[in-house]
Chains A and B, each alone.
Chain A
Amino acid sequence: MTTLMDKPSDALDHVSLKHARLPRWAPVLVLVIAFAASGLLALLLGWGPVAIVVVALLIYLVVLPTWSRVVENRRSAVDRFVTALVWVALGLAFVPLVSLLWTVIREGAPVLDAKFFTWSMRNIVGEKGGIYHAIIGTLLITACAAVISVPIGLLTAIYLVEYGAKSRMASSIRFLVDVMTGIPSIVAGLFAYALFVVFFGPGVHMGLGGGVALSLLMIPIVVRSSEEMLKLVPTDLREAAYALGVPKWKTIVKVVLPTALAGIITGVTLAIARVIGETAPLLIIAGSTDSTNFNLFKDQMMTLPVFIYYSYTQPGNHPEIARPMAWGAALVLILIVLVLNLLARVLGKIFAPKTGH
């Protein structure tokens, strides 16, 4: 250490330790010039806004590294090029997000009115109907999936953290749950269908099947998030309870779960948000109908995603009516998902354990 602190020898005194750098505002300047040049070209050649941005970014990607190459050195030029590339990648990733949200709002917002939410499509031909039946179906089937997934998922998480720990079975469950998160949703739907066919015969359609299919997709998410939350509970709390003679199961129910409750509720809400937009399994097992069906155990049941799908693929004789309704339903679906995501955060705050002082 001390040698590093020593005064540099006289031999180094006349060697400059800095090389020339571009000024801090160089990237901004180049960006402005690039857009100006591209805009000028666009005026002359009549390009659209997309072309202006693309050309401007290309100019930027060429000019800044070249300038840096001349003033600084090759390594800095490469560094600046990659930095620009990384930010362009970020921008590219947000283009579809902005475009999608904007399109859905622009096309969907005009059809949202009271009738849209309170009517079904029963006996409606050639005029605008409503999505009441689809909303009811989505809520019932998602609730059904949650009722199946939450107990199984939560108990499994408790097993993994409290009982299984490092046992062979626990680690294989943990691994397969991870693998399960990758099951395609359509396969979950086929599984529910194949399962129900065994009991109810070919051509079976019911809301319960949709619930089973969705729970297959939801359970892994619940297990993973609950497991993470249970792991965060301090071991001190458990040991304090054991020391007082509290049985293990009571420790889990009265001490561990309440401490982790906020995180678990957040996780479950996010899992619901994740499966509420699933389409493929419901297309297969829940079917579609124009009427409102409250019975999970009988007949076809319409859901929002399936409604969007059929309004788009089979608009019938009046696509000018069906298309806007598809956009409207898409907007409603996105809003539901966003509200659930917000709710997850709010609930997490509400149920957060009170920290004692």
Chain B
Amino acid sequence: MSTIEAKAGSPKRRLGDLVFANLTRAAGLTILLALAGVAVFLTIEGIPAFTAGPEDLKGASSFVVYVWPLLFGTLLAAALALAIAVPLAIGVALTVSHYAPRRIATLIGYLIDLLAAVPSVVYGLWGGLFLGPKLVPLYEWLADHLSFIPFFAGPASTTGRTILTASIVLAIMVLPIVTAISREIFAQTPRLNEEAALALGATRWEMIRLSVFPYARSGIVSAAMLGLGRALGETMAVAMVLSASGVVTFNLISSTNPSTIAANIALTFADATGIQVNALIASGLVLFVITFVVNFAARWIVSRSEVSV
């Protein structure tokens, strides 16, 4: 837009311009360097863990064996959180964009933003001290009546600090971001498509199914993936809610739960020494790579579709 002026007119470049332009370019480069720095420094500090023995890895014979249960827990918790959050988020986003009157929709938007503003440590505190105990009766009921489903095999936790509780808290935390992006995209549906559907006699739901959803499909996918990235890396809620024992199990309501990479780092970093620290940093590198790939893919889908977020 404004860069053509150098070519067209002024033959000599002013010193001020040169300095300022390079200053801004340097700032941009700093960001790229910082991102590269994250990968480089985590790799440097993480390398010793890849060759470490069982005595430094809590009995695990190699780093892969050490990190696998954590990775499993991370993926399980994030997947559960998404399964809860995405349908809810689409519902809330639809309310805001297509169901609620304008004024109420604005209010709902503020309240959802408020949900995003609450610090994660407060969610952790609430999840551990309030929500967990409240869910115990539900878990006992599930263990009594639905224990033939592997997810609810039981025995039910007596504190409620299970991976299902952690996933519910995670779902609440990723809800705002998924809602915000879905809402933006729903609102951008071409008005003519919607009105055409209504003019043909479609009910509101048929209009949404025929004109809004097809238009928003890639947007919803990327919103869910951004939520996934958030859920994979969220630390405090899991660390404070989950009573983790590092097992690999699909049992969601018992008192022995898989831990997650992020929560494991937060819980054990303060007491770790020597190679253990390197192992934690290396597991952080694994987490970084996974979330980077997920976010990269999500942003790529967004940038490819014509919808702007």
Residues of A within 8 A of B (CB): 75-76, 78-79, 82-83, 85-90, 92-94, 96-97, 99-100, 103-104, 151-156, 158-160, 162-165, 169-170, 172-173, 175-188, 190-191, 193-195, 197-198, 202, 216, 219-220, 223, 235, 238-239, 242, 247-250, 252-253, 273-274, 276-280, 283-284, 287, 305, 308-309, 312-313, 323, 326-327, 330, 333-334, 337-338, 341
Contact = CB atoms under 8 A, between A and B. Distances in A.
B80 interface: no
A193 B121 contact: no
Contacts of B108: 90
Contacts of B32: 172-173, 176
Interface in B12-55: 14, 16-17, 19-21, 23-28, 30-32, 34-35, 37-38, 41-42, 44-45
B117 interface: yes
A242 B14 CA distance: 13
Interface residues of B, number: 94
A284 B269 contact: yes
A182 B38 contact: no
Contact of B288 (A93, A184, A247): A184
Given A193-B281, A194-B44, A309-B236, A175 B288 contact: no
14 contacts: A83-B204, A86-B95, A89-B92, A90-B100, A90-B108, A93-B112, A159-B27, A185-B120, A187-B287, A190-B280, A249-B17, A279-B120, A330-B125, A333-B121
B281 A190 contact: yes
Contacts of B87: 89
B2 A162 contact: yes
B91 interface: yes
Instruction: Specify which of A85, A89, A235 lies most central, judged by the most chain B CB atoms within 10 Å of its CB.
Output: A89
A184 B24 contact: no
Contacts of B28: 155-156, 159-160, 164, 169-170, 173
B287 to A, nearest CB: 6
B38 A165 contact: no
A94 B108 CA distance: 9
Given A235-B2, A247-B17, A100 B233 contact: no
Contacts of A179: 35, 292, 295-296, 299
A5 B41 CA distance: 73
A242 B5 CA distance: 9
A89 B5 CA distance: 53
Given A100-B118, A197-B45, A341-B117, A94 B111 contact: yes
B114 A185 contact: no
